[in-house]
Amino acid sequence: MPVKKVDLPDWPWRAVLRLAEERRVQVWLVGGAVRDALLDRPVHDWDFAVDRDGLGLARAVADALGGAYFPLDAERETGRAILKAADGSRVELDFALLRGPDLEADLVARDFTINALALDQTNSLVDSTGGLADLEARRIRATSGRTFRDDPVRLLRAVRGEAALGFEIEPQTEAWLRRDAALLTEPSVERVRDEFVRTLMLPDAALHVQRIDDLGLLAHFLPEIESLKQTTQSWPHRFDVWRHTLHILDALEGVVTAATGQEVTPRPLTDPPPAAWGDVARVLGQFAGDIETHLAVEVSGGRDRWVVLKLAALLHDIGKPSTWSQDEDDGRIHFYNHDLVGAPIAAQRLQELRFSREEVERVRVMVGQHLRPAHLARADTITRRAVYRYFRATGCAGVDVVLLSLADHLSTWGPNLQEERWSRRLHAAETLLTHCFEQYEETVEPPALVTGHDLIEALGLGSGPQIGQLLETIREAQAAGEVRTQEEALALAQRISKSA
C-alpha cells in the first residue's frame, strides 16, 4: 500500500523541520492539525511530538519566527510558541515529549483515532489506529476502552468533535462513553467548563447540548437542569421547561443571525412562521454592526458576550421548578417571581464552575431581568424614563436581554405566533436598541450635570445616602428630558430636599 503524503503550508512547517534538524530532535506533527489538513480545513493550532528537548525547540521556533515562548509543562518538556500569521491571525505551536517509548505508543494513547494521526519529516502519514479510515467514514472512534477513563474530559470532547466536524460517534465508543459518564465529576471544573463552552460556541448549540444531555453527561456539571424536565407549563407554552430551554437557545441563534444581516436557514428546533426571521432582520437590521460588535467583546478567558448570552439562555428559567404553582379552579400554571428566584441559582452554578465574576454577574442580570422587555412591550408608549430604568437595571447586558427576550417569545409561541403581540415585542426591542446605540448619552447614561459636592455646597446638606439618592433622581429626570442644565438640576434637588 503506498504511503500517503499530506500537503501542508510551508510556514511554519518547514521552519520547524529545519530547526529540529539543527538541534538533532526528531519531530512529528500530530493530532488535530493532521486531521484538519486531511479535511482541507485551516490549521491554526499545531501540535508536535518530539523525542527530546520540547522546551528548547519551542523557544527556538519562537525566536526564529518572531513569536513568543511559553513553557507549559517542565516534566513533559512541553513548550508553546505563539506566532502571528501573514494575515495577522494567532497561531499556536505546542511541542511535547512522546507519550511512551515511541511514536506508535504515543498515538495509541491519544483520545480518538482521527486525532491519532502523525506526519513525519517527509510529510508521510503515520496511522497506527485506523484513523484515516474513520476520517473518511466521518466517525468518532475511541482509540481504546480506556480513552475516557484516562481523561474524562474526553467525554465532552467526543461530542464536540461530532458537532464541529459533522461526524458521528460510533456505537462501541458511545457505549464506553455512557459507561464512563459519571467520571466527568473527576477532572477540575475548569477543564469541564472550558470543554462545554467550546461546544456551546458552535452553531446549532441547542442540538449539541441536547446530545450532551442524552448521553448522560449534562447533569454532572449542570445538575439543576434535571428539575426542568419534570416542570410542566401552561399555554402558550407547548413544552416542559427543559424543552423550552433548548428551543430558546436555538431561537437565540436565529434572532442573532437575522439581526446581524445573515440569512436564517430553517432552525433545527425552533419553528415560528418563516416570516418572523424577516421581521427581526427588518426591524433590527439597522443595528447589525452594533450588535455584532457588542457580542464579540471578550468578557473573560477568551469567552465573549455571545457565549455568555448562550449560557444565560440555558439558565434563564432555572427558577421555575421552585416557583411552580397551579390554580385550583382552572388548572393554570404559574411561576411567580421565577426570574428573581432564578438569578442567584444561575449565579451560584456559574461560580461553582469557576466562571469569572463579570460572567457570573452578566448571567445573573440577564436571568433576573429577562422578562423586563415583555413588560415594556405591554405599554402603548415606552417613555424615556422607562428606557433609563431598563438600562439602569440591566447595565451593559441590556442589549443581550433584548435579544434573549425575542428568542423567548419565539420559542414560546412557535408556529402560533400572534402578529399583534410579536409587533409589540419588536417595537420594544427597536426602541431599547435605538436608545442604546444612537441616544446613549441622552437616555441610557446621561453625563452628570452636578456632583455630590455641588449639592452639598448649594443646598447646605451633609454627606450621606441622601446625596446619592438626589443624584440618581436628577439623572433619571435628565434622561426623561425634564432637566437639561445644572441650574435645573439644582432646582429639582432643592424642591426634593425641602419636601423631604
The Cα–Cα gap between 409 and 431 comes to: 17
Nearest partner of 344 among 374, 375, 372, 323, judged by Cα:
323
Domain positions in the chain: 1-135, 138-217, 222-444, 452-499
CA end-to-end span of the chain: 92
State the Cα–Cα distance between residues 408 and 316, nearest whole angstrom.
9
| pLDDT value at residue 1 | 45
Cross-sheet strand order for the sheet of 125-127: 68-73, 78-84, 90-97, 45-50, 27-30, 117-119, 125-127
Per residue of the chain (500 residues), give pLDDT as tens. 456 888 898 999 999 999 999 999 999 999 999 999 999 998 889 999 999 999 999 999 999 999 999 999 988 899 999 999 999 999 999 999 999 999 999 999 999 999 999 999 999 999 999 999 999 999 999 999 999 999 999 999 999 999 999 999 999 999 999 999 999 999 999 999 999 999 999 999 999 999 999 999 999 999 999 999 999 999 999 999 999 999 999 999 999 999 999 999 999 999 999 999 999 999 999 999 999 999 999 999 999 999 999 999 999 999 999 999 999 999 999 999 999 999 999 999 999 999 999 999 999 999 999 999 999 999 999 999 999 999 999 999 999 999 999 999 999 999 999 999 999 999 999 999 999 999 999 999 999 999 999 999 998 888 889 999 999 999 999 999 999 999 999 999 999 988 86
303-304 and 27-30: which strand pairing?
unpaired
Strand, helix or coil for residue 41: coil
Q: How far apart are CA 181 and CA 273, in angstroms?
A: 38
CATH number of the domain located at residue range(s) 138-217 in this protein? 1.10.110.30
Q: Give the fold, CATH level 3, of 1-135.
A: Beta Polymerase; domain 2 (3.30.460)
Query: What does pTM read for this prediction?
Result: 0.94
CB 152, CB 182: distance < 8 Å? no
Classified as helix, coil or strand, 273 is coil
pLDDT on residue 500: 66
Longest dimension (CA), the chain: 95
The pLDDT score that the predictor gives to residue 2 is 56
- What's the half-sphere exposure (Cβ side, CA atoms, 13 Å) at 401? 28
